[in-house]
């Protein structure tokens, strides 16, 4: 299997993002709002943390892309999520579903199942979350995955076909799967990303920004992940631990160039042995 897109395609989308500054509405969890907003600003997008009923619907009609993150789904926010999704679909606005900690937690699991059936452009989660959402697993340890992305490949393909969404699985290496069966691994990143609260959640917001630039959901997810994980590698080379990494990461997201992306993002095809897992 060959890789359908190249790192140069990711570089082109980063250049377009910087020139257009997509407006990303984040209906996200209370733990990560500040970090997520700073990540969007650093990469070149504009954040809007509009997550209360009525306003969420109103804003969704003008946003460039939307993140729906189920990290802390209080009752009002659940209403806001549904309103934003309905308005986004009516306006043709791409939105990303991040089914945080689905599986054994009943409220978010039921909500994630409902939202997955409402045409997200991208579904992003760790391997345990994707397995659970696809009905092939019981979830991980809270927000932590107990599975490898490649273990979720078949479940991701099934979920992608049933929802017509791209599915992005985060892990040591990240895996993108499309409804047509195409799959690509982004082999960049660093373990320090897992030591900063919001590292995965903020990636969902960046995917929403990139989804505003192209109808190719797999490319949007791949480009967002490539830029994000390459910046993490660059930041880790300068950091002394999680605290300095978080600061360096924002700096590198702002400084990473399309040329850096074209030469540094490492995409590889999913192999036959990978597919057999």
Binding site membership for substrate: which residues?
Answer: 49, 198
Q: Which residues contact 225 (CB under 8 A, 6 or more apart)?
A: 168, 170, 174, 176, 186, 188, 203, 207
The distance from CA 182 to its chain's CA centroid, rounded to whole angstroms, is 18
Binding-site residues for ATP: 124, 170
Q: Residue 143 in contact with residue 159, Cβ under 8 Å?
A: no
d(CA 136, CA 148): 14
Binding-site residues: 49, 124, 170, 198
- Sheet containing strand 183-186, strands side by side: 46-48, 23-27, 65-69, 95-98, 122-126, 166-170, 174-177, 183-186, 267-269
Q: Which of 69, 133, 66, 144 is nearest to 102 (CA)?
A: 133
The distance from CA 101 to its chain's CA centroid, rounded to whole angstroms, is 15
d(CA 90, CA 149): 33
Task: Show the tokens assigned to 208.
Answer: 């929403």
d(CA 199, CA 90): 30
Q: Residue 121 in contact with residue 224, Cβ under 8 Å?
A: no
Task: Count CA atoms closer than 13 A to 43's CA, side-chain side.
Answer: 36
Return the H-helix or E-strand segment holding 168.
strand 166-170
């Amino acid at each position: 299997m060959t890789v359908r897109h190249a790192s140069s395609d990711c570089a082109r989308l980063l250049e377009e993002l910087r020139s257009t500054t997509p407006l990303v509405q984040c209906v996200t969890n209370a733990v990560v709002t500040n970090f997520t907003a700073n990540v969007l600003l650093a990469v070149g997008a504009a954040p809007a943390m509009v997550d209360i009923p009525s306003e969420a619907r109103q804003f969704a009609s003008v946003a460039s892309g939307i993140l729906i993150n189920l990290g802390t789904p209080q009752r009002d926010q659940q209403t806001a999520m549904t309103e934003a999704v309905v308005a986004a679909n009516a306006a043709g606005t791409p939105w990303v579903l991040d089914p945080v900690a689905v599986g054994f937690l009943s409220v978010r699991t039921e909500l994630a199942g409902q939202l997955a059936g409402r045409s997200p452009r991208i579904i992003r989660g760790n391997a345990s979350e994707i397995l659970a959402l696809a009905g092939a697993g019981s979830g991980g340890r809270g927000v932590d995955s107990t599975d490898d992305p490649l273990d979720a490949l078949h479940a991701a393909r099934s979920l992608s076909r049933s929802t017509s969404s791209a599915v992005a699985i985060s892990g040591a290496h990240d895996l993108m799967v499309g409804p047509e069966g195409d799959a690509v691994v982004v082999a960049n990143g660093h373990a320090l990303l897992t030591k900063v609260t919001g590292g995965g959640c903020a990636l969902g917001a960046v995917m929403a920004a990139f989804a505003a630039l192209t109808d190719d959901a797999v490319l949007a997810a791949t480009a967002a992940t490539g830029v994000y994980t390459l910046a993490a590698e660059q930041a880790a080379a300068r950091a002394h631990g999680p605290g300095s990494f978080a600061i360096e990461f924002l700096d590198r997201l702002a400084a990473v160039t399309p040329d850096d992306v074209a030469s540094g993002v490492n995409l590889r095809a999913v192999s036959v042995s990978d597919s057999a897992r």
